[in-house]
Structures are given as C-alpha cells and as structure tokens.
Chains A and B, each alone.
Chain A
C-alpha cells in the first residue's frame, strides 16, 4: 500500500511570463484515489497535460514507478502506463462504441498484429480481431455499455459518453488513470453510479486514480487524499477532510 506510483518534483510550466503551474509536488501511492481540486483556472488540467506529455514542463520532472517520464511524447507516456480522459469529451464520434474501446486496446502486447498481416488477411488478423472484440465487450460490460456497443459514440447520452471515455482509457491497460472531471454534467444518480464504478475498476484492475472534480461530495466520498491548487500553486495538501477544511482553501473558494 505504500509503494509510490506517481511522484512529481517541482513540476511547473510557464507560458511566456505566466506561471500556469508552479512547483507542484504530488506523491500518489498504489491503489490510491487521489483528488486534484481548485477553482477555475487553477491549473488542474494543465497538470494533466504535463503528466500526459501534451506540454513539456519548463521546471521539474515526474516519475511513474520510479521511471522518469519527463520529455517523452504522448504516445510513449501512454505506453508506459498513464491514460487519461478529457474535460471536454473527446470520443471518436463517428465510430461505434465498441470500436472506440478497441482503439484503446490497439497497443496491448497481446493484440499485436503487423500491418502487413492485416493487409493480406492472414489468420493472425482474424485471431487478434476476435480477441480484441471479446476484451472490448468485457470492458464495456463493467460500464454497463455492452448493449450500446453498435451505436455511434456521438449518439450516446452525455453520461454514457463520459463512461465510454473512461472505458476507452481503461482499455490501454494503465497503471495510473487520470480522470478530468468525470462527473461533470451528470445527475446525482449517475454520479453515485460513477463512484461505484470508479471504486470497482480501482479494485479489479489494481489501478491508481488521479481525478479532477468540482463536485465536493464526489471528491470527499471517493478520495483519500487531495491536493488543492490555486493560481498554479499548491494551496493545501493532505487527507480530504483536512485539506477541504483548511481556512486558505475555504477562502479561495468562497472568499473572505
């Protein structure tokens, strides 16, 4: 339980003179549900973009399982085991639900298939396709999306689109899952349901999860520890109750 999965050291990025994220130190232990909260524009999503290689940090670095991942491309970081969802849903809209998940499975070693094997339709092609389809169905079952598998992703209702995005990220077999506002736009029932799912995938897939969320009930119900960001700097850090009751945090959220 004490093994550290993600460690950031003085992580920071500045765009011109603006320090969007400055000096962020986070340590996330294995199987932990870790929250990242803060007012709008605090730099939460920027931290995600740094951790997934969309931006390269200008200062500091981060480690996954002790391996330094700073400077790697988005693809490489995904292969190393960090997967993410997006704040504004980015599904493959014109593909069916199951194909969305199968794209996530693309780089799994058990589904390796040379492009030329596919071009010539050798037996290996059919074998991988079938295995991928089964695996994708299995993942969709967890999210209760199996019956929707042949619908276009863009035709799904919002809550299901969010779930599908998590399913797709999960398909890349990550060690660390980054969820960017997973409950945004969901009604209380869906949020409740999502909390169960997140706990379930954590247990089933032995995952570590870092999530951004504005719904404090969601955060306090789910996360063991949180980091509060404000204007790119860490305002408070620690167990959820402690950090949320910190007077500085209350000041940043509600004002004096």
Chain B
C-alpha cells in the first residue's frame, strides 16, 4: 500500500511544483508585495512551460525533431489576440474572452499542425526538422505581410492586454492553464496511447509490426503539441503589445528546444524546471544588463548552457550529479534502497533516455566519445 502511495506521489510532482509557485506568488500578491516585474516573469515562465512541455511531446516522447514550435505559437498569438479583441467588444468579461480566444487560437494552431504534419511526418530526423523550420519562418513572414495584423508594426493588443500596473491576474490564469496542459500531457503519456507513442520512438519498425498506426500517432502528437503552443501564443498576446513577428523567430524555436534538452528528453518535470530556469536567466540578464552590456546577454546565456550540458553529460561529474539527484535524496530520507534498473512509475525512467536524435550534436557540444563508455547509460542496442 505504501508503495502504491509513493508511486502516485511521483506522478504528481509536476502539478505540485507548479501549484506551489502559483499559490506562493498569489499569497505574496495578496499582501501587496509582489513586484510588477515578477508578475511579468511569472507569465513568461508560464507560457514557456507550456511550450517546453508540448515540444517535449514531439521531441522527447515521439522522438521527432521539430524546429517550428514558435511558428505554432505565432499562429496562436496573432489569430487568438485578434479574435480576443473582436470578442472583447461583445463580451464584457476579460477572463471569458481569454479562455475563448485561447481555445480558438489553439484549435487554429492545431489545424496548422495538421496541415504541416500530414506531408512532413513522412520525413524523418533532419528532414522533418528542416520542414518545420521552414514552416516557422513562412508563418511569421505571412503574418508580417498581412495588413489585418498590422504588417511590420505588429498587432497592437492594447485593448485586451493585462496591464501589470493595474491587473496582475494574468499570471494566475496562465498558471492554471499550465496545470490544465500538464493534466492532459501527463494523461496522454501515461495511457496506452502514450505507450504507443514511446514505442514508435524506441523502434518504429517494431511498432509497425505490432500493428501500431504510426502515421496516426505521429500526427496526433504533432496536432496536440501545436494546440498547446497556440494556447501559449494567446497568453503571450495578452501579456505584451504589440504581438510582433520578430519574436517568433528561429531563435525562439531553438530556445524552446534548449529547454526540452536541458530538462531531459521525455521528462516533464525536467521541462518545467528548465523552462522556468531559462526564462528566469533571460529575464535577469535582460533587466540587469543595459546599454552596451546588453550584448553580453547571449554570451552569458551560452556559457550557462554549455556548463549545464557538460554537467549533464560528463562522466566524471556523474558522482557529483548523483549526490545532488533528488531521487537519491528522497531515497535517503525515506531510507529505501532502490535498484538502479528498477522503474517505479508507469511511465518508465525517462531521464536517461537517448532518442533518435543526438541532442549534443544539435547543441554543437560534441561529447559523443565520452558518453559511449558510460556504463550507467542504457545503450541503444539491437540495431
């Protein structure tokens, strides 16, 4: 019975993390001590988490590399915000407008996900990455040239924007959205459909031979990830003005990918932490480095990433990492011994999973010759 309880607890860690941040900041806000910039940061963290978790579905669980996630967010941000402004004239309640526009923005992004996915998912690996990359660029260029959306000036969302000087409730709404997204993603991953998706990642040929409808599941994951990205885009549209095409560049897609890689492939908890961490670092760098120093932002950012990637992969640092691992700390506290091969949760031990894509190569940090000899990493055998 106690084993069952523990197993369940580990399933809910991600909700607990997000809910804790939300509740703490809500209490602080009630006492009137929450700085304006921090409520902004919280919104940024919230939509970053949605983006990272949804991209993790595609990259971590399905094992396909998508570089167009900002493109789906772009669709959601432009169309959702435009719609919200139309709705705001009819409906008085800001919250209902936000929720409605989020749904519609998400649906439209999902539709685009379907359109892109249908031909693109026949491709594999690098080729799919190139197509999704092109999609992201095409989408933002199209929006840039549409006069409905303000052309190069961007779509002004002044009418629906939550002004952080008067109304700080946007972060609450966005965090609740994060919880909803997490609920759906967790449910998907921990179901038979999630199992089929990870089976496709592990061995597509075998999955086909087991009668798994590979095309359907690939498309399904792609559409769902696009839906959530669209929702994140709508939140972005309510957070800032104007919604500008330049934000949704290739760089931003990569930044989301970096969150996923840093958090660990197919690790939802990791994605949440990494998304929060990277957004926080970005935010601090942006607010503390001004003038000429602003150029340093990318340098520091890059340095932090390199250090984190090395820390994640270097075999000699493994003992230090193990000492700091929350799993082992937890085991020490409860006094339970765990065999390294054991898997507790139904979703399996995702943290150490190598996927079809070698992420270190993507990040241009070549540690392949080292990782080959680490005995604690399961090697991808049977090929």
Contacts and interface: CB of A to CB of B under 8 A. Distances in A.
Contact of A103 (B207, B214, B379): B207
Interface stretch (B26-34, B186-194, B247-255): B186-194
Contact of B198 (A88, A95, A155): A95
15 contacts: A52-B209, A84-B209, A86-B206, A86-B209, A89-B382, A92-B206, A93-B380, A95-B348, A103-B199, A106-B211, A118-B192, A150-B342, A152-B343, A161-B382, A169-B210
B341 interface: yes
B353 interface: yes
Contacts of B349: 152
Nearest to A111: B192
A132 B192 contact: yes
Interface hub of B188, B201, B209, B353 (most chain A Cβ within 10 A): B209
Given A92-B199, A113-B191, A151-B341, 9 more contacts: A84-B209, A89-B382, A90-B209, A95-B195, A99-B195, A125-B187, A154-B378, A169-B209, A172-B210
Contact of A150 (B195, B201, B220, B343): B343
B193 A118 contact: yes
B301 to A, nearest CB: 31
A90 B206 contact: yes
Nearest to B217: A115
Interface in B210-232: 210-214, 220
Contacts of B193: 113, 115, 118
Contacts of B209: 52, 74, 78, 83-84, 86, 90, 169
A131 B59 CA distance: 30
B5 interface: no
A54 to B, nearest CB: 8
A129 B192 CA distance: 7
B206 A106 contact: no
Given A90-B382, A119-B184, A151 B206 contact: no
B341 A92 contact: no
A79 B207 CA distance: 13
Interface in A87-107: 88-96, 99, 102-104, 106-107
B381 A93 contact: yes
B134 interface: no
A75 interface: yes
Interface residues of A, number: 44
Contacts of A96: 343, 348
B206 A75 contact: no
B187 A106 contact: no
A94 B382 contact: no
A79 B381 contact: no
B208 interface: yes
A121 interface: yes
Kindly state the interface size class of chain B when it binds its partner: 35 or more
B202 interface: yes
Contacts of B380: 93, 154
Contact of A106 (B210, B378, B383): B210
B47 to A, nearest CB: 21
A106 B196 contact: yes
Nearest to A122: B187
A27 B211 CA distance: 24
B81 to A, nearest CB: 26
B215 to A, nearest CB: 9
A251 to B, nearest CB: 35
A248 to B, nearest CB: 33
A129 B199 contact: no
A168 interface: yes
Interface hub of B193, B220, B380 (most chain A Cβ within 10 A): B193
Nearest to B196: A106
A189 interface: no
Contact of A154 (B191, B206, B214, B381): B381
Contacts of B202: 91-95
A103 B210 contact: yes
Given A103-B195, A150-B343, A91 B187 contact: no
A193 to B, nearest CB: 21
A15 interface: no
Contacts of A121: 187
A89 B196 CA distance: 18
B203 interface: yes
Interface in A161-188: 161, 168-169, 172
B195 A106 contact: yes
Contacts of B205: 54, 86, 90
A56 interface: no
A78 B210 contact: yes
6 tightest A-B contacts by CB?
Answer: A78-B211, A118-B191, A92-B202, A90-B206, A74-B208, A103-B199
A95 B380 CA distance: 12
Nearest to A128: B192
Contact of B353 (A78, A94, A125): A94
Contacts of A83: 209-210
Given A74-B208, A168-B210, A94 B378 contact: yes
Interface in B168-204: 184, 187-188, 191-196, 198-199, 201-203
Contacts of A103: 195-196, 199, 207, 210, 212
Interface string A35-67: 000000000000000001010000000000000
